[in-house]
Structure 1
């Protein structure tokens, strides 16, 4: 039979509450009792019951993660980072895939509330007022990752999307490209779409290439949508010699379209992506891209939520992490 906390207490000749304190706040117990408890734990091979622990401390030691698309490789990195941080901090992790469906997301918040999660990380989606009101009404602390809120003071961690997009387009301009297009996110359902478009506009405007601003098409987060957007872009603007894509998956869709039309990348058209997914270094040609610290974003989001849960506040409300230009094979001088 699996040993219980009562067995440990009996062997160590202490109370059950003393065993609990040794498990969760060892410095609050005198050394002699602490040593007896730890010896009993080792002899019995006792593993603390997380449910019982939750009853004592009124915590589930579980965090929730809401992500919009679990098939997107970007979120695999975020999940890995958050999971590793949870292991370090003593939490379990529950993941829900929302598909950017409002009713589903609201129902998941209810589910998290029923499961008594301690806090939630809300990833890469708009914080609509109904989401905010639901979370606040359920009294669930939460932070945003790869997102932010202009309306509410919610802790967040992300990159500077506008500055990162600017750096990508400026790199193409510095290579000598003047006919530059963009494949971006549909602004109606994207947090990062508008600021990345603004970075595209700023780089072109500063370089006197305002005429290129109209040379942009929009897609809805997937490879096949980017493929179609690339078809529309090059049908309207066949003179383009470079394309800025706001996601690596979009860059891959664009390159696949160009390959099917026997247009060489980077021989005739340079393509730059955004994210630095693992696949970006495996794709042919290897992608030049803007690297987000994807793993670190997930890890930091969990740390930030833990800080909020343990202290009631965070030192840095809206945290920006560094991006980096990674030059590979999909771009060249004009």
Structure 2
């Protein structure tokens, strides 16, 4: 049997308005009354109707999250943090897989608009003007996660990719490596590709190490396959490399796999450092040394910022999250 708010009010001997205020965390009742109503809700197994709640407080208690790729392990960690903060706020998440496709992204934005979602977290992809203008017309708050924009006034949560890539390269240099290569993403990607490439180049320059175009292989993405194939290319171009910085953990583990096929021992003959600190970094052989992004915390922070925007008319500040090197077994100190 499905119970209604009238049944709860009758069971607790209070008015329907009182039950409604308690469900929606409004004022105007005693603690004793609240306990009685909550007990009645639990006893009857009453589930408040989300649509009815939305009519009362002008919210649907749902947020939309747009990801360019769902197969990435990175998404799992970001989404874990988003869901934690969202559920604590009494809301739910609709996840949209855009595949970095403009037409698909716009269709998902139209769907989210029809669903009357309360806000949007836009992740890991450039925020184009078409998206921004549509979301602006939706009149809902938005937070960027693992991406940023200089064109529009939208708060973001991310790591400083340039600085983090610099740190990874500097770590290899501190281990005595002078012939260092990079497996890079798409250099035209202003979110992750170019900043990580720039950080790599800057670290070499600041430590008086020459940069050569042959020391970098560019890819369209940051996948295991990209890492595996581009390491083979990189070693053909520069056979005497002693260390490699991969622009993602998936690429780094692809490189480790490729090195195994080529009969190259990691880290004895080739040191490899990754970027992200995904859960798979601990599972590789050898376990992957990497520069860590606090992905779960980033997702949680983005959701909290979104609810802060919903609960007040104030703006929120963007957050640059800390990164650090997590040492495992894939980098070896080079003997002089």
| TM-score under structure 2 length normalisation | 0.94
Residue 293 of structure 1: CA displacement?
A: 0.6
Distance 2:130 2:246 in 1: 31
Superposed counterparts of 1:1-334, under 5 Å: 1-31=1-31, 33-189=33-189, 191-212=191-212, 214-219=214-219, 220-316=221-317, 318-334=318-334
RMSD, aligned α-carbons:
1.6
In terms of mean alpha carbon deviation, does 18-27 or 191-200 score higher? 18-27
| More divergent stretch after superposition (105-114 vs 30-39) | 30-39
Q: In the TM superposition, what is the alpha-carbon distance from 1:258 to its structure 2 partner?
A: 1.6
Partner of 1:27: helix, strand, or coil? coil
Shift of residue 234, structure 1, vs aligned partner: 1.2
Number of residue pairs aligned between Structure 1 and Structure 2: 333
Do the aligned residues in 2 keep the contact of 1:26 with 1:34 (CA within 8 Å)?
Answer: no
In structure 2, what is the Cα distance between the partners aligned to 1:43 and 1:221? 51
**Please, which runs of 5 or more residues in structure 2 have no aligned partner?**
none
Query: Whole-Å Cα distance in 2 between the matches of residues 237 and 151 of structure 1?
Result: 39
CA distance in 2, matches of 1:107, 1:206: 46
CA distance in 1, matches of 2:314, 2:321: 20
The answer as to whether partners of 1:145 and 1:158 remain within 8 angstroms in 2 is yes
1:277/1:34 CA distance change after superposition, 3 Å = closer
The whole-number CA distance in structure 2 between the counterparts of 1:12 and 1:328 is 59
Q: What do the CA deviations read for 1:85-129 (whole angstroms, capped 9, x no partner)?
A: 111111111101111111101110111111111011111000111
Q: Following TM superposition, by how much is the alpha carbon of 1:277 offset from its aligned partner in structure 2, in angstroms? A: 0.8
Is the 8 Å Cα contact of residues 214 and 238 (structure 2) preserved in structure 1?
no
Q: Which TM-score applies when normalising by structure 1? A: 0.95
What SS does the corresponding residue of 2:272 show, helix, strand or coil?
strand
Cα distance between partner residues in 2 of 1:23 and 1:319: 33
**CA gap 1:212/1:254 in 2 versus in 1, 3 angstroms:** same
Residue pair 2:180, 2:245 contacting (<8 A) in 1 also: yes
Q: Could you report, residue by residue, the CA deviation over 1:18-44 in whole angstroms, capped at 9, with x for unpaired residues?
A: 211011125332456545533433443
Change (3 A) 1:26 1:132: closer
Deviation at 1:75, TM superposition (A): 0.5
Listed one character per residue, the Cα deviations across residues 58-96 of structure 1 (whole Å, up to 9, x for unaligned) are 110001110111110011011111111111111111101
Q: Distance in 2 between matches of 1:195 and 1:333?
A: 26
Unpaired stretches in structure 1, ≥5 consecutive residues: none
CA distance in 1, matches of 2:224, 2:32: 62
Range with bigger deviation, 84-93 or 40-49: 40-49
